[in-house]
Structure 1
Amino acid sequence: MKDKQALFIGYVWPEPNSSAAGTRMLQLLQLFQRAGWNVVYGSPAQSSQHAIDLSAIGVEAVPLTLNCSSFDDYIRHLAPDLVMFDRFMMEEQFGWRVESCCPNAVRILDTEDIHSLRHARHLAFREGKPLAREHICNELAKREIAAILRCDLSLVISEFELGWLTQQFQVPGQLLHYSPFMLDEDNEVASNDFAARRHFISIGNFRHAPNWDAVRYLKELWPAIRRQLPDAELHIYGAYPSPKVEQLHNPAQGFLVKGWVDDARGVIAKARVMLAPLRFGAGLKGKLVDAAACGTPAVTSSIGAEGLYGSLPSGLLISDDPDEFVQLAISLYQEEILWQSLSDNSRELIPRRFSLAGHGQPLLNRIEQLCSQLEQERQENFYGAMLRHHTLKSTQYMAQWIEAKNRLQSAGDSSGCL
Structure 2
Amino acid sequence: MVREVAEARLVVPANTRPRVSVIIVLYGRADMAIPAIAALIANSPPCFELIIVDNASPDDALELVSSRVVGATIVRNSLNVGFSAGVDVGALHARGEFLLLLNSDVFVEPGWLPPLLAALDRSPSLAGVSPVLLNIDGSVQEAGSLLFAGGVTRAVTSADRWALDFSRTVPYVSAACLLLRRSVFTKLGGLDCVYGLGYYEDVELAMELDHLGLSLGYVAGSSARHVHGASSSRERAMRRTVHNRAIFARRWQSRLDELPPATDHLTASAEVRARDAFAVDRVLIIDDRVPQTDRGSGDPRMATIATRLAALWPAARVTLLGASLDGADRYAPALLAAGVEVAACSFDGAQRWLEQRAGHYSAIIISRTDNLLRFREMVERTQPLALIVADVEAIYSRRTAMRATVMAASDPALAASCAEEAVRQREVELEGWNWAQVAVCVSREEAAEVRAVAPGTTVHVLPPVARAPERLVPYAERSGVVFFGGFMGGEASPNADSVRHLVDDIMPLLWSRRPQLALTVAGSDPTPSILSRAGERVAVIGRVDDPFHTLGARLVHVVPERFGAGVKTKLIESMASGTPFVTSPIGAQGLHLGELARHLVADHPAQFAEMTLALLDDPDLWRFVQRGLAGLAEQHFSPLVLDRTLVELMADLGAAPPLGP
- Seen in structure 2, the aligned counterparts of structure 1 residues 256 and 173 have a Cα distance that, compared at 3 Å, is farther
Aligned residues of 2:320 and 2:342 also touching (Cα < 8 A): yes
Cα pair 2:485 2:570 within 8 Å, conserved: yes
Identify the residue that residue 518 of structure 2 maps to in structure 1.
Answer: 233
Could you state the TM-score of these two structures normalised by the residue count of structure 1? 0.80
Structure 1 residue 207, shift from structure 2 partner: 2.7
2:441 matches 1:124 = no
Q: In 1, are the aligned partners of 2:297 and 2:486 still within 8 Å (CA)?
A: no
Per-residue CA deviations over 1:163-192 (Å, capped at 9, x if unaligned) read 23344xx321743211112444x342422x
Alignment of 1:197-236 (within 5 A): 197-208=478-489, 209-220=493-504, 221-236=506-521
8 Å Cα contact 1:315/1:343 also seen in 2: no
Identify the residue that residue 188 of structure 1 maps to in structure 2.
Answer: 470
Alpha-carbon displacement from aligned partner over 1:340-380 (angstroms, at most 9, x marks no partner):
111111111221111222232333233323438xxxxxxxx
Structure 2 distance, partners of 1:18, 1:120, is: 24
| 1:164 lines up with 2:449 in the alignment | yes
Q: Of the two structures, which has the highest relative contact order with CA contacts closer than 8 Å and spacing of 6 or more?
A: 1
Residue identity opposite 1:342 in structure 2: V
Alpha-carbon distance in structure 2 between the residues aligned to 1:322 and 1:123: 20
1:338 equivalent in alignment to 2:621: yes
Q: Is the 8 A contact 1:44 1:66 kept in 2?
A: yes
Does the Cα contact within 8 Å between 1:155 and 1:179 map onto a contact in 2? yes
- The one-character-per-residue Cα deviations of 1:134-163 (angstroms, maximum 9, x if unpaired) are 789611111112111111111100112122
Q: Distance in 2 between matches of 1:369 and 1:229?
A: 54
Cα distance in 2 between the residues matched to 1:274 and 1:62:
36
Letter in 1 for 2:463: P
Identify the residue that residue 331 of structure 2 maps to in structure 1.
51
Query: In structure 1, how many angstroms separate the alpha carbons of the residues matched to 2:286 and 2:649?
Result: 20
User: Closer, same or farther in 2 for the Cα pair 1:84/1:316, shift >3 Å?
Assistant: farther
How has the CA–CA distance of structure 1 residues 173 and 334 changed in structure 2, closer, same or farther, with 3 Å as cutoff?
A: farther
Q: Could you tell me how far apart the structure 1 residues matched to 2:421 and 2:600 are? A: 28
Partner of 1:275: 558
What is the aligned counterpart of 1:319 among 577, 594, 602? 602
1:408 paired residue number: none
The CA distance in 1 between the partners of 2:401 and 2:567, in whole Å, is 17
- The offset of 1:73, in angstroms, is 2.1
Q: In the TM superposition, what are the counterparts of 1:10-409 in structure 2 within 5 Å?
A: 10-19=287-296, 21-36=298-313, 37-48=316-327, 51-53=331-333, 54-67=335-348, 69-76=351-358, 79-128=360-409, 138-167=423-452, 170-172=453-455, 174-184=457-467, 186-191=468-473, 193-208=474-489, 209-220=493-504, 221-251=506-536, 254-309=537-592, 311=594, 313=596, 317-371=600-654
1:320 deviates by 1.3
SS of the residue aligned with 2:600?
strand
* Structure 2 residue ranges without an equivalent (≥5): 1-209, 211-277, 656-661
Taking a change above 3 Å as real, the CA distance of residues 333 and 346 of structure 1, as seen in their structure-2 partners, is: same
Aligned with 2:366: secondary structure?
strand
Determine if contact 1:332/1:339 at 8 Å carries over to the other structure: yes
1:20–1:309 distance in 2 versus 1, CA, 3 Å? farther
Measured in 2, the distance between the counterparts of 1:370 and 1:243 equals 45
3-state SS of paired residue (2:357):
helix
8 Å CA contact retained: 1:315, 1:345: no
Q: State the superposition RMSD in angstroms.
A: 2.5
Over alpha carbons, which structure has the higher Rg? 2
Q: Does structure 2 conserve the Cα–Cα contact (< 8 Å) formed by 1:149 and 1:175?
A: no
Bigger shift: 96-105 or 306-315? 306-315
Counterpart-to-counterpart distance in 1, 2:421 and 2:371: 22
Contact 1:314-1:346 at 8 Å conserved across structures: no
Q: Which amino acid aligns with 1:176?
A: V
Identity among equivalent positions (%) equals 24
Q: CA 1:321–1:243 in 2, change beyond 3 Å: closer, same or farther?
A: closer
Q: CA deviation at 1:205?
A: 1.0
Q: Deviations over 1:318-342 (max 9, x none)?
A: 1111111111111211111211111
Deviation at 1:84, TM superposition (A): 1.1
Q: Report if aligned partners of 1:278, 1:303 keep a CA contact under 8 Å in 2.
A: yes
2: CA distance, partners of 1:285 / 1:369: 27
Deviates more, 1:206-215 or 1:36-45: 36-45
Q: Deviations over 1:371-393 (max 9, x none)?
A: 38xxxxxxxxxxxxxxxxxxxxx
Q: Please give the secondary structure, in 1, of the residue aligned with 2:640.
A: helix
Q: Is the 8 A contact 1:189 1:269 kept in 2?
A: no
Checking the alignment, whether the CA contact within 8 Å between 1:314 and 1:342 is kept in structure 2 is no
Could you tell me which runs of 5 or more consecutive residues in structure 1 were left unpaired when the two chains were aligned.
Answer: 373-418
CA contact (8 A) 1:292 1:315 kept: no
Q: Quick one: distance in 2 between partners of 1:259 and 1:66?
A: 30
- Give the whole-Å Cα distance in 2 for the aligned partners of 1:371 and 1:23: 26
Closer, same or farther: CA 316–187 of 1 in aligned 2, 3 Å: farther
What is the one-letter code of the residue matched to 1:46? Answer: L
